[in-house]
Amino acid sequence: MIDRCLSNWIPQITKGASLPYELDVYCMISFFIAIKTQVGNNVRTVPPIETFLPQYSKELLQNAEMDILYELNWHLMYPTPLSIVRDLLSLLPLHWEFDPNKDAFANYLMDVYLEVRNMAELATLSYSCSMFSSTTVALATVMSAIQSLNSVLLFQKDPVQLFREAVATHLGALGISCDAKEVHDCYMRISALTSCKYQNLKPSSVENDQNHVPVTP
């Protein structure tokens, strides 16, 4: 929320303008908005925001919250596992040195994406996966989908290991890793869920998803 809000003012900041509010106001109000919209862990009681920012008036904090909400267009929900998957898959052509426009690899990405979508639906419906973050579910579903497709003819190396390397190379500095314990636990649970029957994709649904196939940034 902080990044999205501040990015709206980047053009003005680069021209010498200042932020409408101090950075601590943005950080704390974004945190409180997240709590109120249940983004993150549940919290039983939270003191008023002015308790943490006593140097600002209550009116200023209220105005800042409204301004932030309008800057975000009230789009407050956290990213879904599937939206993160699209970003993760966009790393693969770059890291695996494949041309994303080649039919074989483009078809492979589509197969992975559609398989991930089914697995993400199963994970969403399963209480056993509800404890994991969206990023964890995204990493686990991609690994599980790649493993289930087993496209050994397309790669000289294990594609799951290639995906691990891509994540480590491009996202390791952010603390995102396929080797984290929670990712392994989620992967095992999702792999177990795939033995269950799930709803088949409708042709129109597949066609609509063609517009969301990840591409190289």
Tell me the pLDDT tens digit for each residue of 111-149. Answer: 889 999 888 888 877 777 877 888 999 999 999 998 888
Q: Count other C-beta atoms under 10 Å from residue 117's C-beta.
A: 20
Task: Using the predicted structure, report yes or no on whether residue 186 has a pLDDT greater than 50.
Answer: yes
Distance in angstroms (rounded) separating the CA atoms of residues 37 and 20: 24
- Which DSSP state fits 51? G
Domain 81-212 coded CATH 1.10.472: yes
Q: How far apart are the C-alpha atoms of 171 and 179, rounded to whole Å?
A: 12
- Whether 164 contacts 90, CB under 8 Å: no
Whole-number Å distance between alpha carbons of 73 and 19? 18
31, burial (CB in 10 Å: exposed 0-12, middle 13-18, buried 19+): middle
Residues 50-105 have pLDDT tens digits of 888 999 998 999 898 888 888 877 777 667 788 889 888 888 776 666 665 677 77
- Predicted pLDDT of residue 133: 84
The larger pLDDT score, comparing residue 200 to residue 183, is at 183
pLDDT at residue 18 in the model = 80
Residues of the chain with CATH 1.10.472: 81-212
Sign (positive/negative) of CA torsion 183, 184, 185, 189?
Answer: positive
pLDDT band at 181 (very low <50, low <70, confident <90, very high): very high
How many Cβ atoms are within 10 Å of 23's Cβ, its own excluded? 10
Q: Which residue has the higher pLDDT, 196 or 3?
A: 3
Q: How far is CA 189 from CA 68, 97, 114, in A?
A: 38, 31, 19
